Amino acid sequence: MWFLVICLFITLFVKIIIDQKQSGNSPPGPPGLPIIGNILDIKRLMKKTKFQAHVWCYLAKMYGPIVHLRLGFGYTFIIISGREAVIEMLSRAEFDGRPNNLEIQLRTGGEPRGLIFTDGKRWSEHRRFTIKTLKRLGFDKTNMEDMILEDTVTLLKIIEELAEKGPITNIYDLVSIAVIASFWFLVTGSKFQLDQKDPKLMEAIAISNENAKRSTTIGGIINQLPFLRYILPRLTGYTQLQERQNRLWLYFKKIIMEHKETEIQNEPTNLIDIYLKEMQTRCSNLSSSSEFNDENLIALIRDLFIASIETTTSTTGFVFAYLSVNQYIQKKIHDELDEVLGKDISPRLVHKNRLPYLQATLAEVARMGNVAATSVPHRAMNDTTLLGYNIKKNSILLANLMSVHMDENHWGDPKTFRPERFINEKGEYYDDPWLMSFGLGHRRCPGEILAKNFLFLIIACMLQRFHFAIAPGYPEPNLLGIDGFTISPPPINLLITKRI
């Protein structure tokens, strides 16, 4: 017993020495404490600023564009701020790795699987397969636009019926189903009916939203001090997280099993069946990769489900919030829609360039809403340097996108909601390269085109039909949103009226 205690103390002592010994060319940052590092520093700043991305911006002002943090046992975190540093980091292949912490393992059955939190061969093969398959299925073609518009028409009818009964408080839930419906048809071959609630689907959406709100990009205490999950499993949130992740895993596993039990008669017409066929082909070729398996397929469709819902739904929610508060901007969009399309012509993607103020408003919401205020964490795959600083292998790097979107030197008045900043002197929409909501480099979001198209179509259709305002007697929403792994829109009570 005493021998184990002595060994533990020796290990901790050596760990403290190693943690506090940094090379002279390491990035600057707060010194922190032995063992726990900067955990208390982050907690103190979070109490002050309320948002993790605000903490990163605060530290960037103190220490510069590259800030070094230690979070628990050997958990080195590098925060990258400012456009130059962010572009440099996101553009280099040696920073394309992903962390492999406890929370990431829990979400996909014990190890990193799927698309979002994998790297190397597993990631490259699944990314290539996903992009190729979705293009083959037509996610970037007219038939996808038709499906989105069909779902949007149904959504408009549902909203109109609900609005007649009073203020709407669950607009985000309604939009979530519309967001996933068309895309999910390409993935599974089955279509969600917007007017018929599926309890299992609603539960999956609710769990996904709960995970997003309760997690952060640097991970919780069980990542930083993982031994605590054995001592305080419920207090640290480990038990609850494990339960939520298991329920999601079983939901998607059941979908896969239903496809495996159904014999494919003709050429597969959805991503799951195409993946299963690819598995069979690779199994018959013993020299081929074994990365294609049931577990990676479950993780892949989980990643696609979450990616297709989370950021697009949240951005849509911020649009409602900002336009409900800024009525004069909503009126400008109404006037533009009336002039270009009138009341009877349905918005389509070909109308984009004729609706520059709508496009500019969506861009301004993306900039100020900062749904993805930071990148998904990256990992240095070898010892290297960044802007002259030494970066050790396996360091975790986080691109602070908010620092770019709120840079006063570029935007001038970044805290002012002003869509006109995205309109050039000719009155056309200007795609400012400082807006990087979907990331950059090899790990840029592969669903960017679909997300932008969906956002444009659904917002154009809803604003053509309805006027949105804060319901009488309710306070204005906090436009900063709710912090989490991504930033969620605030709770809002909407009075939605049909435009005459």
- The binding site for heme comprises 445
Q: What is the spatial distance between Cα 25 and Cα 66, in angstroms, rounded to a whole number?
A: 12
Q: Which residues are CB-neighbours of 128 under 8 A, at least 6 positions away? A: none
Q: Which residues are CB-neighbours of 11 under 8 A, at least 6 positions away? A: none
Q: Which residues are annotated as a binding site?
A: 445
DSSP result, 33-51:
BTTTBTHHHHHHHHHHHSS
Q: Please state the separation of Cα 230 from the chain's center in Å.
A: 30
- φ, ψ dihedrals at 369, nearest 5°: -65, -35
DSSP result, 303-353:
HHHHHHHHHHHHHHHHHHHHHHH-HHHHHHHHHHHHHHTTTTSPP-GGGGG
Beta bridge partners of 398: 79
Q: What is the spatial distance between Cα 335 and Cα 276, in angstroms, rounded to a whole number?
A: 49
**416 burial level (CB within 10 Å; 0-12, 13-18, 19+):** exposed
